[in-house]
Structure 1
Amino acid sequence: MRYSADWWITFAIAIAISVAIAIVVSLVVGRYVRRYRRRAKDAGDDAEGRRRRRLTTVVGLAGGIVVVVAWLMVGLTILREFNVSLGPLVLSAGIAGVALGFGAQTLVRDTISGLFIVLERQYDIGDVVDLETDGGLVSGTVEELSLRITSVRQFDGTLSIVPNGAVHVVRNKTRGWGRAIVDVRVAVSEDTARVRVVLEELLEQLSSEEPFESALRKNPEVLGVVQVTDAAQVIRVVAETEPSRRWEIERDLRERITARIAERGIRVPPVPIQPRGADPGA
């Protein structure tokens, strides 16, 4: 008999089993997704690293769908036990969906945009990106990607949640190659040819040392003078690197170049310091 003591016991057992399965699925999926994200975080820029980041993205999306389906089955089990007919429910949901369709345009846009981001491989979990959005530029490492949102961890630790439909331009800094650019300021009176020789000598030495040897795709080169002011001439040094190591190489190059030009007695003009409270436009 429906709603008798035996019926409630059977109902409770069925629901408990469904909920237990959904919880187990959620925990297992969450564990695997976290494991793949840790692997993606430590992945390099080679083919294996890109494969890991791509696999992490796919696992995260598939895992999310599996969890939603598991909990949907819990809801359907409850409805079935109460003998609720799904036909009228689906019809009512369809009518309500039409009424709510205009209000759900943003959700649909975000979901479709997320689908194309994944299919076109615009970026994966672990990639370093610049996203031009409705709210401005968001830069950092992709920590999570779903069909609706992208979570980006910025350099200062801020976690930005960006709706996929709000992304207009993607700049992926973890694909192909990167270019380290270092501008060296020396006094106008310094002999440019001498400075070039000193820099080229240093760059040749660094090409066979770590971290440069493993991070460089080509040997660094001195482009020459790119700017001249009343007090300084700016000489640019560039190096083609593995994409995710561009910033590391820039920092190390600046440090080694600064030490070398000081060692060789090359004069560097002081950087003008603006008085506190001064008007930048004055």
Structure 2
Amino acid sequence: MTLELTRDLLQYMFDHTLTKIFITILLAILAQFLVRLTVNRAVRGIVHTTKSSDALDAKKRQDTLSKMFRTMFAIAIWIVAILVILWQLDINIGALATGAGLLGIIIGFGAQNSIKDILAGIFIIAENQYRIGDIVSLYANGKDISGVVEDISIRITRLRDLDGNTHIIPNGSINVTTNLSFHFANVNIDINVAYDTDIDHAENVINSIGTELSGDETWKAHIFEPIQFLRVDGFDESSVRLKAIGKVEPAQQWAVAGEFRRRLKKAFENEKIEIPLAQIVVHTRTAK
């Protein structure tokens, strides 16, 4: 009795169009959920086995690839689901496809930019040019835009700049990409001292502060190579320009440089090393 009731219930369900459509939608949702789990695990396995500079790079790569594949599979699943629903509604898919083909040709002429964006997005992700969480500078549509990558799809890149503004950039419009957080970053600091400064003394103070900072419990995890004196970089109107350089964790160059300058300013004050202001010499002539 129970078996017959179950069979009759299933027969009733599959004989009714609305029920069929409901089941199709449920199956599409289930398929999307399973694809999400499978893609996430597969990408973690693939990226984990490739050579990556560190765990942070691997995590960014995983997030970016997972999102792209999930989006592509989701689109495919729902296209199939819609076609099945149309078939269940007894709509002639062949005739619809013929009309859609003509419409597609018309739309195609106006969708060239979108196709360009999609192809560019695939290359950006496949070539690992930048990932979600990276800090980048993009030259697009004749202007430079810098910020943190919040999202990448196969059509657009979304950046948030330092002021909190969100920039939506079509991938096809990006001409030059500068990634400021790939593997490592350099701290490149110009330091101006007075002309009467003992350069050797200034060099020792700079190196001492760089070494001290790299050993600090708060900062040492972010510093790969201590900031050290590099060279005398030039002679300005009222000062000698020195250059110091170090290697740090990606996206930490600004924080490390700021802390180095703060400590160096105090050290220069203690060591009586002058950081000169720009000076203008004015000559006056006495009337005869």
Between Structure 1 and Structure 2, whose CA radius of gyration is higher? 2
Deviation for aligned residue 1:74: 4.0
- Does the aligned pair in 1 maintain the 2:138–2:176 contact within 8 Å? yes
Q: Which residue of 1 aligns with 2:22?
A: 16
The DSSP-based 3-state class of the residue aligned with 1:218 is strand
| 2:192 is the counterpart of 1:185 | yes
CA distance in 1, matches of 2:192, 2:210: 17
CA contact (8 A) 1:110 1:166 kept: yes
Task: Kindly provide the amino acid, as one letter, of the partner of residue 106 in structure 1.
Answer: N
- The alpha carbon displacement at 1:46 in A equals 4.2
Shift of residue 177 of structure 1? 2.1
Match for residue 179 of structure 2 among 154, 172, 183: 172
Secondary structure of the structure 2 residue equivalent to 1:130? strand
In structure 2, the CA distance between the partners of 1:108 and 1:153, relative to structure 1 (3 Å rule), is: same
Rounded to whole Å, the distance in 2 between the matches of 1:160 and 1:184 is 34
Structure 1: gaps of 5 or more residues = 1-5, 37-44, 273-282
1:42 aligned partner: none
**Kept in 2: contact 1:226–1:234 (CA 8 A):** yes
Q: Give, in angstroms, the shift of residue 206 of structure 1.
A: 2.6
How many Å separate the matches in 1 of 2:38 and 2:160? 21
Look up the match of 1:244: 251
**Structure 2 residue runs without a partner (length 5+):** 1-11, 44-51, 280-288
What is the TM-score with the length of structure 1 in the denominator? 0.80
Contact 2:150 2:159 in 1 (8 A): yes
Residue 215 (str. 1) matches residue 222 (str. 2): yes
- 1:29 and 1:139 map into 2 onto residues whose CA distance is 34
Give 1:230 deviation, angstroms: 2.8
Within the alignment, does 1:197 sit opposite 2:204 as a pair?
Answer: yes
SS in structure 2 at match of 1:100:
helix
Question: What is the identity percentage for the equivalent residue pairs of Structure 1 and Structure 2?
Answer: 27
Alpha-carbon distance change, 170 to 103 in structure 1, aligned in 2, over 3 angstroms: same
In structure 1, the residue matched to 2:99 is 92
Cα offset, 1:259, TM superposition? 1.4
**Paired residues for 1:28-177 under 5 Å:** 46-177=53-184
Q: Which amino acid aligns with 1:11?
A: T
* Aligned residues of 1:180 and 1:250 also touching (Cα < 8 A): yes
Q: Deviations over 1:28-63 (max 9, x none)?
A: 989999xx9xxxxxxxx9422211111111110122
Map residues 261-276 of structure 1 onto 2, 5 A cutoff: 261-270=268-277
Worse overlay, 262-271 or 165-174: 262-271
Q: Is 2:24–2:85's contact at 8 Å kept on the other side of the alignment?
A: no
- How far apart are residue 253 of structure 1 and its match? 0.9
Distance 1:139 1:100 in 2: 33
* Shift >6 Å, 4+ stretches: 24-33
Q: Quick one: structure 1 residues 131 and 246, their matched pair in 2 at CA, closer, same or farther if it must change by over 3 Å?
A: same
Structure 1 position 206 matched with structure 2 position 206: no
User: How many pairs are equivalent?
Assistant: 258
User: Helix, strand or coil: the match of 1:102?
Assistant: helix
Residues of 2 paired with 1:189 and 1:30: CA distance? Answer: 66
Does structure 2 conserve the Cα–Cα contact (< 8 Å) formed by 1:15 and 1:74?
no
Q: How far is 1:125 from its partner?
A: 1.4
CA distance in 2, matches of 1:25, 1:140: 35
The one-letter code of the counterpart of 2:154 is L
